[in-house]
Structure 1
Amino acid sequence: MALNNAPDLTQRPPRSARVRLGGYVILPRMLDKGRAAIAKKNGEYNYACPMDERLLDFVGIDAKALHKQLAAGKGDVEILEWINKNAKFKRTLVEVHVWSSLAEQRVPTDVETREFFNGLHAKVAPKREDIATWFDLLDVDDYASFGGKV
């Protein structure tokens, strides 16, 4: 299915996980990945990855149900309205803000994920000392993956 609003993630990265929609971090990035996957232009990006699942679990939305809404060609505002209407958990703005703030600060917590994190960090930005959170790592990886010099 061809979507008019599907980004080509073989040419540029999705929006940063820091970008918010309705107060939710991750959501715009997840929508970019979902639309690109439908258009078969997702490159190495995966819709409903573990980070996306954290958001989906927080609001109580099924990834497949959201995928159907994306396939229907709905824009960001329409998707946000659909989420607010269909979410299992009706979150307040304060809850969304707190959750998003905590998500922005997430760091690897166990040995295995720290090894993965440190390995990717060493590969894409070995001299950067400011890469501490998952969002930091995603942003620098996206930048480096599309030719940015780190």
Structure 2
Amino acid sequence: MDLRTTFPRSMRVTLEGYVHLARMIDKCRAVLAGTEGEYIYPCPMDDRLMAFAGITAAQFTAAVKQHLNDEGVIQWFRGIATPHAQAELDEWNRMMLSRGPTTPEKQASFDKYRDAVDPSRTDLTSWADLQDLEEGRTVPRRA
């Protein structure tokens, strides 16, 4: 995957019940290929997913390197990730998708990135929405 010419999958894409997993796979593949461009792996969102799953970046990177397709990574993930009740996973997914800036400094960065893409979108409050907006995906207006 060449993230210098294309975007990773949206954080909203779900694999094995987890949001962000598909995006993390795409970014890891790009890092392994040296084609990550401006994307960062592992980033803080990746770290949150790996901590929730009980895995390390080294383990995940080795699995992505070993398995050339999503199905292989998913099988590995299913076998190693800390199991969670569906309600807990659903809550974690909601948290990830609604998570926004947590400090004034992060809010300023968020506003700067948003304003560079579309300053009229002051309705956006989550990093997931901002990523989708930056990458040209449709983001519904929020009330």
Map 1:103-142; keep pairs closer than 5 Å: 103-142=96-135
Q: Aligned residue pairs: how many?
A: 137
* Residue 85 (str. 1) matches residue 79 (str. 2): yes
CA contact (8 A) 2:27 2:39 kept: yes
73-82 vs 25-34, greater mean Cα deviation: 73-82
Gaps of 5+ in 2: 138-143
Going from structure 1 to structure 2, the CA distance change for 1:115 and 1:129 (only over 3 Å counts) comes to: closer
Provide the rounded CA distance (Å) in 2 between the counterparts of 1:23 and 1:53: 17
Provide the rounded CA distance (Å) in 1 between the counterparts of 2:95 and 2:28: 24
Provide the rounded CA distance (Å) in 1 between the counterparts of 2:17 and 2:80: 17
* Residue 33 (str. 1) matches residue 22 (str. 2): no
Match of 1:94 in 2: 87
Match of 1:47 in 2: 41
Q: TM-score, normalised by structure 1?
A: 0.85
Structure scoring higher RCO (CA < 8 A, sep ≥ 6) equals 1
Provide the alpha-carbon RMSD of the alignment. Answer: 1.5
CA contact (8 A) 2:27 2:36 kept: yes
SS at match of 2:3: coil
Provide the rounded CA distance (Å) in 1 between the counterparts of 2:91 and 2:63: 27
Going from structure 1 to structure 2, the CA distance change for 1:94 and 1:51 (only over 3 Å counts) comes to: same
How far apart are 1:55 and its partner, in Å? 0.4
Going from structure 1 to structure 2, the CA distance change for 1:92 and 1:74 (only over 3 Å counts) comes to: farther
Give the letter aligned to residue 37 of structure 1.
V
Going from structure 1 to structure 2, the CA distance change for 1:103 and 1:84 (only over 3 Å counts) comes to: same
- Over the matched positions of the two proteins, sequence identity in percent amounts to 37
User: Which string of whole-angstrom CA distances, capped at 9 and with x for unpartnered residues, describes residues 12-43 of structure 1?
Assistant: 11000111101101100000000011111111
Provide the rounded CA distance (Å) in 2 between the counterparts of 1:48 and 1:92: 26
Match of 2:62 in 1: 68
Q: TM-score, normalised by structure 2?
A: 0.89
Provide the rounded CA distance (Å) in 2 between the counterparts of 1:77 and 1:99: 22
SS at match of 1:143: coil
Gaps of 5+ in 1: 1-6, 145-150
How far apart are 1:93 and its partner, in Å? 2.5
